[in-house]
Amino acid sequence: MIVCVCEGVSDRVVRAHIQRGSDSVEALGQSCRAGTDCGRCRDMLRTLVAERALQRASTAPLKLPEPEAT
Ligand code: FES
């Protein structure tokens, strides 16, 4: 599905750039040009970035505090 009509960028391309480290709308604009023209796609770009952040957070190992020595 095309996410950014102005630049012809699909959700697959956006997800690939997010995967490689573009973690904001601005970073996506620099890496694949999505969101750099009219801006109507920026909410969708933010959603895709947030979706990936949630995936990372849900798969990150849970860090528990060390038990106190008694
Ligand atoms: S639709 Fe993405 S900048 Fe216009």
Q: Is 3 helix (H, G, I), strand (E, B) or coil?
A: strand
Q: Is 29 helix (H, G, I), strand (E, B) or coil?
A: helix
Looking at CATH, the fold of the domain delimited by 2-57 is given as Arc Repressor Mutant, subunit A (1.10.10)
CA of 27 to the centre of ligand 1 (A): 15
Confirm or reject: Cβ of 6 under 6 Å from ligand 1: yes
Q: Stretch 16-32: mean pLDDT, rounded?
A: 97
Per-residue pLDDT, 7: 98
What is the phi/psi pair of residue 53, to 5°?
-65, -40
pTM of the model: 0.84
CA of 69 to the centre of ligand 1 (A): 57
Q: Stretch 51-68: mean pLDDT, rounded?
A: 87
